[in-house]
Amino acid sequence: MSKNLLLIFTRNPELGKTKTRLAKTIGDQAALEIYKLLLNHTKEVTQNLTCDKAVYYSVKIREDDIWDASIYQKHQQNGDDLGERMHNAFQDAFTNNYEKVLIIGSDLYDLKPHHINNAFEKLNSNDVVIGPAEDGGYYLLGMKKLHLNVFKNKDWGTSTVRKDTLNDLQNVSVHLLETLNDIDVFDDIKDNPIFNQFYKN
């Protein structure tokens, strides 16, 4: 067992329930196909990393899906909002004696293995590591012990999340990774030809 754990938060890929803000522009079916592509990308990026890995499902744990149970621990998210669900996942990890824990979502086409490896490395000399997203949130959060405040009193999914999180962490050392673009709305994909096949004739 590694002392490093990567938590991957996913939504179950079901029509009408994924990428709902994106679907308003391109429709539910195209949004679902794009989310499946993003899930596969996340799997490709993470499956060969040397850390332990755990997938946290939004609704129901799936046995026969893209996440190989010999590589990924499988759990269900637990909590009333995103902050509570993340808090519970981190708490489980530290209870199980992991020393460095990162969390990522599954909607980041720009994510590469080196971002995750670098985040674990930066925790050697920092208390917290954050991967800033262009929309004002973050695509990665890492820590060596539970910092409760970061999971509370946030307007999740808004542009204030990262600023409010950094305000909570003024008394500890924080390393900011490269800023990346996570995919939530049409503007996030419109200039990337990879996605055109799903919504253009």
| Domain locations along the chain | 4-194
**DSSP secondary structure letters along 75-93:** EE--SSSHHHHHHHHHHHH
Sign of torsion over alpha carbons 39, 44, 47, 50: negative
Query: CA 150 to CA 169: how far, in whole Å?
Result: 8
Query: CA 141 to CA 7: how far, in whole Å?
Result: 10
Task: State yes or no: pLDDT of 1 exceeds 90.
Answer: no
Task: State yes or no: pLDDT of 190 exceeds 60.
Answer: yes
pTM: 0.93
Q: What is the mean pLDDT of residues 80-108?
A: 96
Q: Are 181 and 110 in contact (CB under 8 A)?
A: yes
Query: CA 78 to CA 199: how far, in whole Å?
Result: 34
Query: CA 191 to CA 85: how far, in whole Å?
Result: 32
Homologous superfamily of 4-194: Spore Coat Polysaccharide Biosynthesis Protein SpsA; Chain A (3.90.550.10)
Q: What is the mean pLDDT of residues 34-48?
A: 96
Residues 6+ away with beta carbon under 8 Å from 119: 102, 129, 131, 140, 142, 177
Q: What is the mean pLDDT of residues 147-156?
A: 91
How many CA atoms, within 13 angstroms, populate the side-chain half-sphere of residue 199?
23
- Residues 10-37 pLDDT 10s: 998 889 888 888 999 999 999 999 999 9
**Average confidence score pLDDT of the chain:** 93
